[in-house]
Amino acid sequence: MACSAARPNAPARFSLPCERILQSAIVRRASAVAYERTGNGQQYGARALNITSDDFSAEPLDEWAPITVSQSAPEVANAVKELQAATEAVETDNGYAVTHPQERDLVVSDLKGGLQKLKSETVSVAWIRRTLSALKIASGRFTNTIKGQTIDGAMLAIKEFVKTHMSAALEHLWSLFT
């Protein structure tokens, strides 16, 4: 299994198994690793940063765990409506289908999948992430257009949905920074 960043010189984003491997390696080496920066003599590394196994004690978030969706909630209805509009806007754009057919197919597929999950009884953090990624790609293609505004409206509606229905995921993410 390769644990590497998707793009060179970009912040690394690792899969969950790779992240656990890296966390374990950092903890094992915490007492033995301290790097000396040339020039000013500042130390960097696990020892200098006081990294311990307690820093990784929280159970990682299972991003595919189902989260119950209350279909009667106004945030859900609004997210479904806005995502439906954005999906139709992207899917019916012939210029996008001609100039970037593979990208368009990915975006439409992920938007339809996210829409289907929002309409069901459960959705996962991973599906919301995929849906938002597709909206971000489409937003870049339709910048400063009416379709771009529709896509941005869908992103805002999903943001409100996340705030009300995924508080456990947000609490977990917050715990990583406190």
pLDDT tens by residue, the chain, 178 residues: 455 545 555 555 556 666 666 666 666 554 444 444 444 555 666 666 677 777 777 677 778 888 888 899 999 999 999 999 999 999 999 999 999 999 999 999 999 999 999 999 899 988 999 999 999 999 999 999 999 999 999 999 999 998 888 876 666 656 656 5
The residue with tokens 């210029």 is: 95
Q: Specify the pLDDT at position 14.
A: 53
The residue with tokens 């009667």 is: 72
CA 131-104-133 angle, 5° bins: 25
Q: Specify the pLDDT at position 2.
A: 52
Q: DSSP letter at 174?
A: H
Q: Specify the pLDDT at position 173.
A: 58
* 122-123 vs 67-68, strand pairing mode: antiparallel
What pTM did the predictor assign? 0.66
Q: DSSP letter at 2?
A: -
Q: Specify the pLDDT at position 36.
A: 40
